């Protein structure tokens, strides 16, 4: 492995480790804040990161088309996607919300059929079926005859987040805007909108060091720096598929943190269900983007 490939793996592993902490960060932040309040703080931090990064790298590409794209993209991510996702995390145990959200790559494969005219192969179909069997294992907690008490609206929101995220990445495939410019402008446009919704709803968060810390955690790790690390890894590598496989380490590392930091008793079906979901994803194909 040459030096450039070693650097790519280093960047990718750093992103994986950081992303594995975000489910824990979401739950801790939501103990003190409403979902839209946490989202406002996170996007504010991320906006600063992306604007500074775009300015330093000199990648600003602003014209009528990029502004239009950024308005649309910002409405999806961060506004709708994270609002739905945070609400799901607020309602569900992290060990359920996080694996459900991880199935976005399966939704991506399904949506690619009508939108990108990509037919479903037998392998892809088998992977989709396997992943959603893992979802059933996860939700039944091993007892299919008597489904456990669970917030089904939260489950619906978690699955809806996969639709939003997959749609976002499909739109990305058609965008010709420089990625860093697109992220910076999208967050610039979305942050005031999120702040306005926050004012209309629970109000702007009352700041303390702990609350600011959770906002920085979400903005820096989930939405900001980690995205840049992952993009750099994909830019350096000569084998995006191999780098993409590393992302499958993230949910298992996340389960360890959920159990140790949050104190959730990790049900054995959470591990099995996640394992089946990831196996299905490996059968289907390898995603090159991610989330919590």
> Is residue 290 domain-resident?
no
Tell me what pLDDT residue 234 has.
78
> Is residue 115 domain-resident?
yes
Tell me what pLDDT residue 245 has.
78
Range of the domain at 40: 3-284
Domain count of the fold of the chain: 1
Tell me what pLDDT residue 177 has.
83
Q: What digits encode the pLDDT tens for the residues 41-86?
A: 999 999 999 999 999 988 788 888 889 999 999 999 999 999 999 9
Tokens of 168: 């976002």
> Is residue 7 domain-resident?
yes
Predicted TM-score of the model (pTM):
0.91
Tell me what pLDDT residue 209 has.
94
At residue 141, φ and ψ (nearest 5 deg) are 55, 40
Angle at 9 between CA 5 and CA 13, to 5 degrees: 170
Tell me what pLDDT residue 4 has.
85
Distance CA 218, CA 122 (A): 38
Tell me what pLDDT residue 291 has.
53
Tell me what pLDDT residue 288 has.
47
> Is residue 27 domain-resident?
yes
> Is residue 158 domain-resident?
yes
Give Dmax (Cα) for the chain: 59
> Is residue 205 domain-resident?
yes
Residue ranges of the chain whose pLDDT lies below 70: 142-148, 285-292
> Is residue 202 domain-resident?
yes
How far is Cα of residue 71 from the mean position of the Cα atoms in its chain? Answer: 20
Tell me what pLDDT residue 243 has.
78
> Is residue 292 domain-resident?
no
Name 22's Cβ contacts closer than 8 Å, sequence gap at least 6. Answer: 217, 218, 221, 222, 254, 292
């Amino acid at each position: 492995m040459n030096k450039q490939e070693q650097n790519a793996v280093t960047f990718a592993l750093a992103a994986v480790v950081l992303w594995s902490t975000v489910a824990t960060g979401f739950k801790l932040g939501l103990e003190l804040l409403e979902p839209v309040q946490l989202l406002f703080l996170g996007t504010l931090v991320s906006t600063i990161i992306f604007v500074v990064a775009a300015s330093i790298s000199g990648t600003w590409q602003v014209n009528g088309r990029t502004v239009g794209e950024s308005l649309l993209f910002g409405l999806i991510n961060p506004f709708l996607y994270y609002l739905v996702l945070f609400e799901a995390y607020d309602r569900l145990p992290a060990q359920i919300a996080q694996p459900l959200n991880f199935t976005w790559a399966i939704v991506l494969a399904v949506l690619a059929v009508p939108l990108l005219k990509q037919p479903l192969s037998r392998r892809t179909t088998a992977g989709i079926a396997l992943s959603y069997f893992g979802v059933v294992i996860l939700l039944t907690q091993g007892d299919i005859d008597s489904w456990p008490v669970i917030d089904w609206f939260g489950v619906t929101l978690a699955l809806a987040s996969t639709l939003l995220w997959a749609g976002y990445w499909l739109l990305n495939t058609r965008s010709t805007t420089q990625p860093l410019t697109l992220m910076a402008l999208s967050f610039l446009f979305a942050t005031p909108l999120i702040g306005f919704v926050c004012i209309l709803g629970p109000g702007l968060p009352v700041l303390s060091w702990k609350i600011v810390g959770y906002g920085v955690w979400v903005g820096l790790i989930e939405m900001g720096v980690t995205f840049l690390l992952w993009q750099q890894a994909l830019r350096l590598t000569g084998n995006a598929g191999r780098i993409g496989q590393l992302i499958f380490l993230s949910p298992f590392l996340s389960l360890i943190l959920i159990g140790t930091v949050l104190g959730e008793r990790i049900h054995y079906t959470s591990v099995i269900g996640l394992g089946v979901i990831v196996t299905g994803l490996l059968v289907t194909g390898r995603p090159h983007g991610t989330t919590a």
